[in-house]
A and B are shown apart, each in its own frame.
Chain A
Amino acid sequence: MGSPFSINGGACVAMVGKDCVAIACDLRLGMQALTVSNNFPKIFPYGDVYLGLTGLATDVSTVSDLFRYKVNMYRLREERPISPQTMANLVSSTLYERRFGPYFVSPVVAGINHTTGKPFICGFDSIGCIDFAKDFIVSGTASDQLFGTCEGLWEPDLAPEDLFETVSQALLNAVDRDALSGWGAHVYIIEKDKVTKRLLKGRQD
């Protein structure tokens, strides 16, 4: 059956811009070569923090539900929204709890820290090792392709609109070279006082 990470397919990417961050995902859900759904988003908003999850679809749902619960509980207990950095550590420790029977997901966290006002992104492996990156994070079955497109297209200090174009082109062109990803995309551009969510059509094959 192959790796649990590549049964359902999917891709996710996050990027840092000037006072903004972007996070984007594809919409495909498949079972090996068969596409089951073309409306399966892999980005989950938890207040100001955004979590992207690729990998085994069942674990994408399980983990996203689990973090919705955990983030809600955090907000109720602390009476403040969770910061991206705290979210990163929450994701890390939660995944490591399942060290010897992991969730088959590769998470990506993106958001703006409202205390410092600084953009923040990071990625994880399936057992919670954090990859703090200053530029971009990729995950999913199209991660190789995304590394190529992001490394080629990204530049520092992109304005929100330019960041949108960059992340969209990076994702769209990457998933077009991956048979297990694609079928449209969701793109979030997160600024200090504004979040823009866009639906990209992309190739429908």
Chain B
Amino acid sequence: MPSIFRTRVQRAAFHRDHHRQSLLDIYRISSSTSDSRAQTIDDTPADLILTALTPSTPTSSSPSPHSSRLYSSSTEVLLGITGKDFTIVAASKAAMRGATILKASDDKTRALNSHSLMAFSGEAGDTIQFAEYIQANIQLYSMRNAMDLSPSATANFVRGELARALRSRKPYTVNLLLGGYDQITDKPSLYWIDYLASLAPLPYAAHGYAQYYCLSILDKHHHPDITFEQGMKILRMCTDELKRRLPVDFKGVLVKVITKDGIREEEYADDHSVACP
């Protein structure tokens, strides 16, 4: 096998990012294309790098980068419901790494400013890295301008950053829900953003497998001017269905609510068992 990391850029990348999947991507790119720039021979032994790669690649056939990535993010649950004067955002509490649950009280959300909340799922390192980068920038905006960015502006900023990263050397594999309350129009809002940076404003949304179980329930029961209590009732129907049908235990959901008064955590009991027919 010839030297894999040939260019200076790629070598620097190796030292910066310790995530193995990203290395796989670089490996795929540099090995599949005969790059004319790749003339400067690297002094890093190729075998050494390959050794670092192999543990994450199961056996001989190398899987597509998406199949292994999306698996864990698909079993993570993100749900969002808007109503008359509120937005509910729910995120599963399990922090998973392969088949192992590392934590049962994980918070997959970050408050961006007083009235917008971002929930995230996806590849382990990317999620928090991206979320906190966004959080810092939105907060910086609030400090500099002495006013908050509106939810729609926030959503478009987040999308822009994710889209920019998408065409960079190392894209973020992160799915997002942006719940907010627009204080100017006095309306709740919810934005759905996937890892390709597709942005859709929606009345209710989900990510991962939760989409297949919950969207149909929401299609049937949701209405734009439901009350908060009705919203929670629909959320309960969704989480019960997930408990019933998802093959993995997602350790319940953490529920946050955004209203005109700001963001608050909502008590959500998930110790009851759900009967499966």
| Direct touching of A and B (C-beta under 8 Å) | yes
Chain A positions within 8 Å of B, measured between CB atoms, are 1, 7-8, 29, 31, 34, 36-37, 39-40, 56-58, 61-62, 65, 101
Which one of B156, B167, B198, B211 contacts A57 once the chains associate, using CB atoms below 8 Å? Answer: B198
Q: Is the CB of A58 within 8 A of B196?
A: yes
Cβ-defined partner of B163 (8 Å) among A29, A36, A37, A61 = A61
Q: Which of A34, A36, A39, A58 is the one whose CB lies under 8 Å from B197?
A: A58
Interface check B256, CB cutoff 8 A: no
A-B pair count, CB < 8 Å, reads: 45
Given contacts A61-B159, A65-B160, contact A34 B211 (CB under 8 A): yes
Smallest CB separation, B67 vs chain A (Å): 10
How distant is A110 from chain B, measured CB to nearest CB, in Å?
24
Which B residues fall within an 8 A CB radius of A? 66, 156, 159-160, 163, 166-167, 192, 194, 196-202, 205, 211-212, 215
A123 to chain B, nearest CB (A): 23
**Closest beta carbon of chain A to B232's beta carbon, Å:** 24
- B202 to A37, Cβ gap below 8 A? yes
Chain A neighbourhood of B197, CB < 8 A: 58, 61-62
Taking A37-B200, A56-B196 as known contacts, 13 extra A-B pairs with beta carbons closer than 8 A to each other, sorted by chain A number, are: A7-B196, A29-B198, A36-B205, A36-B211, A39-B200, A57-B196, A57-B198, A58-B163, A58-B166, A58-B197, A61-B159, A61-B163, A61-B198
The residue of chain B having its C-beta at the shortest distance from the C-beta of A101 within the complex is B167
Contacts of A101 in B (CB 8 A): 167
Residue in chain B with minimal CB distance to A56: B196
Q: Return chain B residues, CB-CB under 8 Å to A34.
A: 211-212, 215
Q: Is the CB of B196 within 8 A of A36?
A: no
Question: What secondary structure prevails in chain B residues at the interface with A?
Answer: mixed
Question: Could you give 10 example pairs across A and B, Cβ below 8 Å?
Answer: A31-B198, A34-B212, A34-B215, A36-B205, A56-B198, A57-B199, A58-B196, A58-B198, A62-B163, A62-B197
Chain B residue numbers with a CB within 8 Å of A36 are 192, 198, 200, 202, 205, 211
- Docked CA distance A1–B197 (Å): 16
B159 surroundings in chain A (CB, below 8 A): 61
- Minimum C-beta distance from A46 to chain B (A): 17
Q: Find out whether the CB atom of B196 lies under 8 angstroms from the CB atom of A61.
A: no
Cβ A37 vs Cβ B192 within 8 A: yes
Q: How far is the CB of A45 from chain B (nearest CB, A)?
A: 17
Which residue of B is nearest A8, CB measured? Answer: B198
Instruction: Find the A residue at minimum CB distance from B167.
Output: A101
Chain B residues with Cβ below 8 Å from A37 are 192, 200-202
Give bound CA distance, A8 to B129, whole Å.
Answer: 27
A27 to B211, CA, bound (A): 19
Instruction: Please name the residue on chain B nearest to A1 by beta carbon.
Output: B66
The residues of A that contact B160 with a CB separation of less than 8 Å are: 65
Residue of B nearest to A62 (CB): B163
Task: State in angstroms the CA–CA spacing of A29 and B200 once bound together.
Answer: 8
Given contacts A37-B192, A101-B167, contact A61 B199 (CB under 8 A): yes
7 interchain residue pairs of minimum CB distance: A57-B198, A37-B200, A58-B197, A58-B196, A58-B198, A62-B163, A29-B200
Chain A residues with CB under 8 Å of B212's CB are 34
Contacts of B156 in A (CB 8 A): 65
